[in-house]
Structure 1
Amino acid sequence: MACLQGRLKIADFGWSVQSEDKDKKRKTMCGTLDYLAPEMVENKGHDYAVDNWTLGILCYEFLYGVPPFEAESQDDTFRRIVKIDLSFPRTPLVSKKAKNLINGLLVKDSSKRLSLQEIMEHPWIKENANHTGVWK
């Protein structure tokens, strides 16, 4: 994570892979517990959609201060992820549009998660980022 001229950039390319075959799914279990997508927890094949899942986790954590599926034990966290046991603490500080974005990203079926294009066109993103992608 870096902050330069008031812009926050987050990157983690430790497990990134470039693949010519877009239909090929990976089976590697890697990452931080709270950020694992359901398909990884269930040892199923996964693709780029895990990044969209992680974006949903980050949005939730930035807005609420904790990861959405955090639990006492690793097994309980895994259960909450697989069940999508997601709740939003009551606060007037987080808009319905922000919750809608998170709900669109934290979807168990990876083919139904918001795409990058849908994320960029989401009303909450459009309201909070200018045309250059810099947050207002």
Structure 2
Amino acid sequence: MAWFQGRLKIADFGWSVQSRSKRHTMCGTLDYLAPEMVENKAHDYAVHNWTLGILCYEFLYGAPPFEVESQVDTFKRIMKVDLSFPSTPYVSLEAKNLISRLLVKDSSGRLSLQRIMEHPWITKNANPMGVCN
């Protein structure tokens, strides 16, 4: 992580790859694994959109959405997409909508990067000029 002109930027390129075919490797932090990775199925770039949903949830709620004490139970919650949102007045319906549209079991149903950038929660909160208020 690095601060640049008052904006937080996050990058982790440890497992990044450019590939036109689906992959079968299992890698990453348990709480961030997409269902297709947990189920040992082929996966593509859509796992990154899933991870963005996990990050948004964790930033807003302070913990990953599927985390429980047991690794096996965490895997089960991920595979079922057993998602719930704790009650709080601080997280908007728009934020919950974005997260819900990223944490979709069928990877083809997840928002694309273009749709993420057009989502109301992003457009409402993004600062395209990079200027802090």
TM range, smaller chain: over 0.9
**Partner SS state of residue 8, structure 2:** strand
- Superposition pairs for residues 1-136 of structure 1, below 5 Å? 1-19=1-19, 21=20, 24-132=21-129
Identical aligned residues as a percent: 80
1:59 & 1:82 partners in 2: Cα distance? 19
Query: Which stretches of structure 1, 4 residues or more, deviate above 2 A after TM superposition?
Result: 130-136
> TM (normalized to structure 2)?
0.95
For 1:28 and 1:47, the matched residues in 2 are separated by: 10
Q: Which has the higher contact order (CA 8 A, sep 6+)?
A: 2
**CA distance in structure 1 between the aligned counterparts of 2:105 and 2:24, rounded to whole angstroms:** 17
TM-score, normalised relative to structure 1: 0.93
1:5 positional shift: 2.7
Matched letter for residue 57 of structure 1: I
Equivalent residue pairs, number: 133
| Structure 2: gaps of 5 or more residues | none
Task: List gaps (5 residues or longer) in structure 1.
Answer: none
